Structure 1
């Protein structure tokens, strides 16, 4: 990425980058779950974008979690991230995303944000947080829209926003009701929903995953053709 070595915000999060084939049509950013790292979701980039139209990047959470993993915020109660650690991660990741855009020339409006578990929470927050630019789409596995003191979700102007949500019905870490609630809120806001529940625990359904390249292409083409309501 050009300019990355000169931008302190970009260096603030360790990340793995997958080059596009030629000039990128956009970007796909995937945030990992608790205890993983930037390598965990990296293989999903090629599954979701097999034609390599997009710049793919997977950042590592700022907090260390022995014996070698990382996480984004402290968990005290599912659905309600710790205010201080979440606030720090949200500001850090937001600045990192902005720096990524400067380094690559790819705006957030051309970027799909996604993640698993804690990473899905970060994708929801960074894609829907008040004052944040709207992404090209959201791709959230087994997560929830966070409720945190001092943090606000903004669902105004989300008509047509492509959102894909997947969750296991046997998930005992983050219950499927969280994704059902996210779906209801986003549908009410007018988002274009792709939703799948699968009979599995806290994991990503590979069958659903294999169906999502079309979602990714639609989200990017929607941005390219300008079919986006003004916010």
Structure 2
């Protein structure tokens, strides 16, 4: 980080409480904001560790970027996870691991997706206003369910974001996503997925990649030999992807 120290504050942006991390000089405005949404069942702070790791991989990310980690709006206390959060609830049969029909999941819009989308869009709008950043200088992304909701948002914003990072995400809302993606030709996407993912299957990630590339988005797809996790080589490629977004699209 070139001697810079990362600072972390909690603040409300739009509808959501967020952890904000940067190593910018006092009073310095970011040139890029990166919004990363955690996965289903994780605490709101689950991905915060990614910011200093990414900053340590490339000094430009410490010098010019602000990282924002929104906490999902729904609690999972009723499922015995008092600190667990969710962007949208899953059917009980899925929670109990009785039903995992990925073809159906890929086609249908999850019942809670519209509300989750509005919440994340409110964060993007608040960020853009408070930091004086156009949407093209805001990168969206997330892990697992966080990757689903940010994909949905990235395809629906009034203007294209600076990029999209899908970390172990999957395809859902396919008819809507295909329609919306046609207006996002050239959008830079970084997508990574473990070949041995037993939560969201690798084949569904390939299907998502094909939907996006078929619509003309520019997808950098990284398969890795691992489960439902964030791999070290994924961090290196993600850092490279974000530095490229600093240089403009």
TM-score band (shorter)? 0.7 to 0.9
Measured in 1, the distance between the counterparts of 2:14 and 2:184 equals 31
Structure with higher Rg: it is 2
The aligned residue for residue 186 of structure 1 is 212
Measured in 2, the distance between the counterparts of 1:60 and 1:178 equals 26
Query: Unaligned regions of 5+ residues in structure 2, if any?
Result: 1-9, 92-99
TM superposition score normalised by structure 1: 0.83
Q: Does 1:99 align with 2:126?
A: yes
Measured in 1, the distance between the counterparts of 2:184 and 2:175 equals 23
Query: Equivalences for 1:148-227 in 2 at 5 Å?
Result: 153-223=179-249
Name the CA shift for 1:112/1:199 in 2 (closer, same or farther; >3 Å). Answer: same
Q: Is the CA contact 1:128–1:153 (under 8 Å) kept in the aligned structure 2?
A: no
The aligned residue for residue 145 of structure 1 is 171
- 3-state SS of the aligned residue for 1:174? coil
- 3-state SS of the aligned residue for 2:118? helix
Measured in 2, the distance between the counterparts of 1:189 and 1:221 equals 24
Measured in 1, the distance between the counterparts of 2:175 and 2:111 equals 9
2:84 paired residue among 63, 69, 81: 69
1:121-145 C-alpha deviation (Å, 9 max, x unpaired) = 011111113x542111111111123
1:4-63 C-alpha deviation (Å, 9 max, x unpaired) = 98xxx8252111001342321110000000111331111112333443211110000000
- 3-state SS of the aligned residue for 2:112? helix
Name the CA shift for 1:152/1:32 in 2 (closer, same or farther; >3 Å). Answer: same
Question: Normalized per residue, which structure has more helix?
Answer: 2
Name the CA shift for 1:93/1:211 in 2 (closer, same or farther; >3 Å). Answer: closer
Figure out how many residues of one structure are paired with residues of the other and give that number: 216
Query: Unaligned regions of 5+ residues in structure 1, if any?
Result: 224-231
Q: Does 1:33 align with 2:9?
A: no
Superposed CA RMSD in Å reads 2.4
Name the CA shift for 1:150/1:197 in 2 (closer, same or farther; >3 Å). Answer: closer
